Structures are given as structure tokens and as C-alpha cells.
A and B are shown apart, each in its own frame.
Chain A
Amino acid sequence: ETGVTQTPRHLVMGMTNKKSLKCEQHLGHNAMYWYKQSAKKPLELMFVYSLEERVENNSVPSRFSPECPNSSHLFLHLHTLQPEDSALYLCASSQDPIGSYEQYFGPGTRLTVT
């Protein structure tokens, strides 16, 4: 595997389900990010992790819970989601969280909440 991988690629879940999205980066980077991409909207930054510590939480509802067990892995735990949470969730990584602007994105998880 190379670059940034995400699983699953597609996920359909009910509003009462609990599921998790997984991201893995194979680039030796120190920072990882979660973004939400909805139709006709800019990419919305959700969370930033630097060396496994959360450094930014962009007013994201508590039904989204991130976890970064090490610098290569990032999870997004989902529970009691709403239909408006349906979107493409993108993971990204960069060498450093500050001063290194190049971010490398995974292919995303297409989430549908029914």
C-alpha cells in the first residue's frame, strides 16, 4: 500500500448505528486530518492531529469522535448520525502540521445516512 488509504470506501448506515471510518498513511507523516466534502461546498476541515494529539476541532458535533492511536492511523467513530451527515469523508496527511503545507489525501469514504 502506498500513500493514504481509507476503509471502507462506501458505507450506508442508519441513524441509530455505530460505525467507524479508518485511515492509514504510509508516508511517514506526522500530521493527519479529517475533512467532510459535501456537494457544492468547500472542503470542511473537521479535525487535525499532530503526533497523535488533537490540535484542532472545528466545532464538529460530538456524534463524530476521532481517534489517533499512532501517527500512521486515524479513525472517525460515528454514532447517531443525521441524514445531513451524508457526505464524502476524506482523510489527509502532511509531513508536519505547521509549516508543511502539502497535504496528501486518501480516496475518501462515501457515507450515506438513512
Chain B
Amino acid sequence: QQQVKQSPQSLIVQKGGISIINCAYENTAFDYFPWYQQFPGKGPALLIAIRPDVSEKKEGRFTISFNKSAKQFSLHIMDSQPGDSATYFCAASMEGAQKLVFGQGTRLTINP
């Protein structure tokens, strides 16, 4: 029940296309859903996050879509660029928890 399932494991998108990464969770107590971006040789960095009181959050080319009834959330990268090539992790947490539960990660490659 503490798991967050992420798919796909790897994704190849052409430059200018839309990259979509999906995550699903079971624990309805989760109330915070961040996405982290990790480049080779670096630690993960917070990219964008959403709370379940909204269905969508947009920051530049990055959008989180949240479906509370389906217990799913996804990251959309519009106009994908080669510089977006990285590993993306979704995560979840809840009020009072001391930790984030991470998905397995998606290695995204944007072909020029």
C-alpha cells in the first residue's frame, strides 16, 4: 500500500514531442505528489509538485495531471527538448510522514 508504481521504465521521444510518464498509488492518505528530475552524476532535483485539491498544475513546459478517483498522476513535458533527457521519479507523501515514497524511475531520452 506504500508503493508508487511508475511507467514506462524508459521512453524515447522526438524533439518537439510530448513526453508522458505515469504513476499510480494505493494509499489514499497520500496528499503530496512531487516529480524529481535526475541528470547523470547528479542527485534528484524537485521539478514540480501537486496536492490533491487540484487536478492540474503547470510550470512552463511541465504539467502534472492528477486523477484522485483513479489514484493516478502523470507528468507531461510539452515541446520536449534534448536537454530534458534525464531520469524522472514520481513520489508521494502524506501529512505526518517522515519520508517520500518513490516510483521506480523513467529514463527519458529526447532525440534531436
Taking beta carbons and an 8 Å cutoff, which residues of A are in contact with B?
4, 31, 33, 40-43, 45, 48, 50, 55-56, 90, 92, 97-99, 101-108
Looking across the interface, which residue of chain B has its beta carbon closest to that of A33? B99
Looking across the interface, which residue of chain B has its beta carbon closest to that of A55? B98
- Secondary structure type dominating chain B contacts: loop
User: In the docked arrangement, what's the CA distance between A67 and B33, Å?
Assistant: 30
Q: Do the beta carbons of B102 and A42 come within 8 Å of each other?
A: yes
Q: Do the beta carbons of B34 and A101 come within 8 Å of each other?
A: yes
Q: Do the beta carbons of A99 and B96 come within 8 Å of each other?
A: yes
Interface residue? B12 (CB, 8 A)? no
Least distance between B3 CB and chain A CB atoms (Å): 8
Interface residue? B112 (CB, 8 A)? no
Residues of A close to B98: CB separation below 8 A: 31, 48, 50, 55-56, 97-98
21 contacts between A and B (CB under 8 A): A4-B43, A41-B104, A42-B4, A42-B102, A42-B103, A43-B44, A43-B89, A43-B102, A45-B100, A48-B98, A48-B99, A55-B98, A56-B99, A98-B98, A101-B32, A101-B34, A101-B49, A101-B93, A102-B46, A107-B41, A107-B43
